[in-house]
Structure 1
């Protein structure tokens, strides 16, 4: 059985959010990605900052990919409540 590359994943492994408000001179981004490491654990890599700048990076290590996806989804919901969009 082969898996088509056109098939969507049930859980995202990469999210890119933006918050743009010209009235407040706000142009921000928030990027999250799940990566596996050499030890069988999963890392949630978070990057944020002003659009056009390098920004900051934070890496959170989780014991498995499921926990990393849960953390990603929880952060995505929190960012959406603050006004970030996909």
Structure 2
């Protein structure tokens, strides 16, 4: 993983053979993308309705950007299929 996060962009991550690509996002970025308040976000995590964070340390949690984008797409698909 590389540093240099200015708080506006995700932290770049390296694939390392995993399915993941893109960046790690911090909580303020996730809240902005999800359009949720922190309490609602964590409630959905607890219900299995939102991606769980990745703990990098005891005080640092991040979300893979691709998982958040997939969640957004599922919300749109759900809306479109309900019509």
TM-score normalised over the length of structure 2: 0.31
TM-score normalised over the length of structure 1: 0.30
The structure richer in helix per residue is 2
